[in-house]
Amino acid sequence: MSAISVGQAAVLGVVEGLTEFLPVSSTGHLKITEGLMHIPVDDTAVVGFTAVIQVGAIAAVLLYFFKDIVRFAGAWARGITHRDARHSHDYKFAWWVIYATIPIVVVGLAAKPLIEGSLASLWVVAGSLIVGSGYMWAADQMGRHKRGEDDVTVKDAMIVGCSQILALLFPGFSRSGATISTALIRDLDRVAATRLSFFLGIPALTGAGLYELKDALGTGAGAAPLAVGTLVSFLVAYASIAWLLKFVAKHSFNAFVLYRIIIGLVLFGLLATNVLSA
């Protein structure tokens, strides 16, 4: 494979930043974009590259929620050394994020060949976009939206954390879409569900990016494209996070549902007419 160019990296950075935290599937959109630019979606360098530029988006969420993260980390540290501090919700929540990350790590390592092989097909992406839309719509309708962030329990965190596996195995389903929807089914309100999705994404996506770094640098992706793609994804993701939190405070997820269905159908059409190769 020829190295990903700086221009292509910038485009992929924009796509990653826009879609990482919106419930529309960053993996799906990246694969579609790569296909349109004739970049082989199942190449190890490309898989590694897309994982690494996610770190830019993660850096954006770290900066955006810096005060919250410091609060959780401080509560966790106090709880480690002082028994009385272990009763605080922030201390428990920090542990829950750690616990909820374990299932996706185990599945990710065990199923890595499958994830990077047959499941990387654009046919899978198209189907997952549409199926994930149905899940998101049903969750928004079923949820009673009555519980806030302070009401999150270890059961909520574990169930929502495990739902990340759907996006891991079926690119196009959307990690944020799966986690937000599952949190809605647990009756969290839209803002609490979205914030929980952000916090659960930090260790999972950071770990994936660091794990893939050696492959991305060693198989032709190039250091300059990696730097450009990561920086662009950081800037765009920060703006996307701020917009999404304002949006979900006043709107349902129906617009995302409709958009995903349209993109899924368009992708099926492009694949069926050989405009794109799976």
Residues in the chain: 278
The pTM (predicted TM-score) of the whole model is 0.88
Helix axes 223-248, 190-218, angle to 10 degrees: 170
Q: Which residue has the tokens 């920090």?
A: 94
Q: Which residue has the tokens 């529309």?
A: 24
Q: Which residue has the tokens 């569900």?
A: 193
Q: Cβ-count burial of 219 within 10 angstroms (0-12 exposed, 13-18 middle, 19+ buried)?
A: middle
Whether residue 219 has pLDDT greater than 60:
no
Q: Which residues pair with 188 in a beta bridge?
A: 147
| 111 vs 182, higher pLDDT | 182
Name the nearest CA neighbour of 26 among 155, 130, 126, 176.
176
pLDDT confidence of 1, banded at 50, 70, 90?
Answer: very low
Measured distance between the N- and C-terminal CA atoms of the chain, rounded to whole angstroms: 17
What is the per-residue pLDDT for 121? 85
pLDDT confidence of 215, banded at 50, 70, 90?
Answer: low
CA–CA distance, 66 with 78 (Å, rounded to integer): 18
Give the residue extent of every domain in the chain: 6-272
- The encoded tokens of residue 163 equal 């739902």
Q: What is the pLDDT of residues 55-88, one digit of tens each?
A: 898 899 999 999 999 999 999 999 999 989 999 9
Is residue 172 within 8 Å of 124, Cβ to Cβ? yes
Q: Cβ-count burial of 41 within 10 angstroms (0-12 exposed, 13-18 middle, 19+ buried)?
A: buried
